[in-house]
């Protein structure tokens, strides 16, 4: 059966730890990726309270005056940390084509607990493990902690999804 819609896949059977549940979810994910290339997941174990907190703090950040957001600008163009204003980035530039800037603004972070090992700090690592840039705590109380918790939760989910992709290929 070929899918003609974006499937909604419940991850609860995978997280239950039962081999049959894991296999069923892996098969559904594999079919979605092969047939349509997209899927929606539910029961992903990211607490709703954390999602709501980060969503609210994100709205507060983007509602700030531009001058406040600029205080946490990206340190350099190759460093994907901090704030990027509207039209400062262009997806087509990555394709070596000139185009107007993207009509979006963003705030980006990376891992916070980067080990002090050569792998993470050598030239090949580039700016992938650069320090994060944060708005002042007094300006947005709890922003840093919420974003760090969300990043960790999403990293764990990404690892689970990678395991599912691997299980589906067996």
Rounded Cα gap, residues 149 and 142, in angstroms: 11
Regarding whether 20 and 65 lie in a shared domain, the answer is: no
111 and 64 assigned to the same domain: yes
Q: What is the pTM of this model?
A: 0.88
Residues 52 and 113 both lie in one domain = yes
Tell whether 89 and 124 lie within a shared domain: yes
Nearest alpha-carbon partner for 1 in 26, 25, 48, 36: 36
Domain count of the chain?
2
Q: Which domain holds residue 22?
A: 8-45+159-168
Per-residue pLDDT, 97: 65
| Residue 163 CB coordination number (10 Å) | 13
Please check whether residues 94 and 114 belong to one and the same domain: yes
Between 163 and 98, name the one with better pLDDT: 163
- Model confidence over 123-157: pLDDT tens digits? 888 788 889 999 999 999 999 999 999 999 999 99
Flag whether 1 is in a domain.
no
Cα 140 to Cα 33, 71, 81, 120: the distances in Å are 39, 13, 17, 29
> Is residue 131 one of the residues assigned to a domain?
yes
Q: Are residues 79 and 123 in the same domain?
A: yes
Q: Report if residue 29 sits inside a domain.
A: yes
98 and 134 fall within a common domain: yes
């Amino acid at each position: 059966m070929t899918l003609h819609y974006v499937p909604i896949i419940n991850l609860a059977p995978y997280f239950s730890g039962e081999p049959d549940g894991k296999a069923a979810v892996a098969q559904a994910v594999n079919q979605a990726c092969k047939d349509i290339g997209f899927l929606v997941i539910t029961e992903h174990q990211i607490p709703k309270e954390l999602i709501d907190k980060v969503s609210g703090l994100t709205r507060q950040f983007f509602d700030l005056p531009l001058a406040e957001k600029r205080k946490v600008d990206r340190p350099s163009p190759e460093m994907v940390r901090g704030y990027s204003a509207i039209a400062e980035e262009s997806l087509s530039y990555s394709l070596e084509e000139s185009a107007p800037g993207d009509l979006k603004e963003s705030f980006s972070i990376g891992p916070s607990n980067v080990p002090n090992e050569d792998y993470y700090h050598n030239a090949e690592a580039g700016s992938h493990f650069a320090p994060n840039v944060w708005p002042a705590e007094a300006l947005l109380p709890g922003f840093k902690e919420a974003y760090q918790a969300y990043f960790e939760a999403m990293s764990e989910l990404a690892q689970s999804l990678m395991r599912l992709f691997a299980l589906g290929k067996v």
